[in-house]
Amino acid sequence: MQRKPVSSVIPPYILRKIIDNGSGHQQDYARRTLNHVQHLMAHNWQKPTAPKNATGGHVDREIYDAQNTESLPGTLVRKEGQPENNDIAAKEAWDYLGVTYDFFWQAYQRNSLDNQGLTLRGTVHYGKEYQNAFWNGQQMVFGDGDGEIFNRFTIAIDVVAHELAHGVTETEAGLIYFEQAGALNESLSDVFGSLVKQFHLKQTADQADWLIGEGLLAEGINGRGLRSMSEPGTAYNDPMLGKDPQPAHMRDYIQTREDNGGVHLNSGIPNRAFYLAAKALGGYAWELAGRAWYDTVCDKELPQDADFKTFAQFTIRHAETRFNKATAQAIEEAWKETGVLS
């Protein structure tokens, strides 16, 4: 059965570590979040409807406040044309929804997530010390974290963009959220999440940190972020969270029934392939490697159950079609270095 991905930032395996290693209240919040995440991952959501008068190049945003309840969307606190309030989470959500829109419009001439001017909605202050953020097919939802393990979930622009990018993948490729297709789905969100951050900071591939969720881990946690695209498996190593379990090569591919067949784990392999391609090609990563990945997502020939190898072949073909053989060869080499192609 195909599931539309209702993706959350913090994967189940991290929440389980907190349940195993945390103090009483930390375990309690993690357990409640995990139960909610599992419910989300099994849930089918309707696609939102776009406004009929949407024009390209102009973002339409709405920010809501759940006021620490789990009621969505909550109370509307800001829409286009209104001034900001003094809520840092609401401001970050507003700003980063806007940057994500600008990235897709300026880099790929895409008019919002659905390419039809979809209003970008975000709800802040969801739940009580809720240790996650998620895209539910309709909107972004941000928890506040607990300040001990996770900071507020609006803090990292790449996390915001990661979740929104699921809306792009769902609209275009509809990759099934299971095993390799699901890991590609997660990886694409990491790719576009990182590219939005690099676009915002005007960084080249060489200048970027290639971390996902930098700033999200609280001060006492030993880690740089949730994931590393350049060195999967090295983002954190902490008594509470354990060691980052992501593989970087096909020889370390994880067979598991958990996490929808390891979608947040094995995404490390295509993540590293993208990083290697972007580094080899140089310059702004969204221009060459990013464009080949974006063209692949928008290719209606891409199967919904595509595996890594199939996806890799599509990126190579699109790179040659749009650019040249040298670009395609650099991308092919990246997939070979991660063991996806031989």
Catalytic residues: 163, 264
CA distances from 19 to 8, 58, 143, 238, 259 (A): 17, 43, 18, 14, 16
Q: Taking phi first (over 0 means left), then psi (-120 to 50 degrees means alpha), and beta for anything else, what does residue 230 get?
A: alpha
Token pair 């840092």: residue: 88
Q: Which residues contact 287 (CB under 8 A, 6 or more apart)?
A: 107
CA distances from 237 to 230, 234, 245 (A): 16, 7, 10
User: Dihedrals φ, ψ of 218, to 5°?
Assistant: -70, 165
Q: Using CA atoms, how far apart are residues 186 and 294, in angstroms rounded to an integer?
A: 14
Nearest of 293, 283, 291 to residue 315 by alpha carbon: 293
Other beta carbons within 10 angstroms of residue 107's beta carbon come to 18
Q: Which residues contact 94 (CB under 8 A, 6 or more apart)?
A: 61, 63, 78, 84, 122
Does the N-terminal peptide bond of residue 73 adopt cis geometry, omega within 30 degrees of 0? yes
- Tokens representing 301 are 């020939």
Alpha helices in 223-307 (DSSP H): 258-262, 268-281, 289-297
Q: Using CA atoms, how far apart are residues 115 and 120, in angstroms rounded to an integer?
A: 12
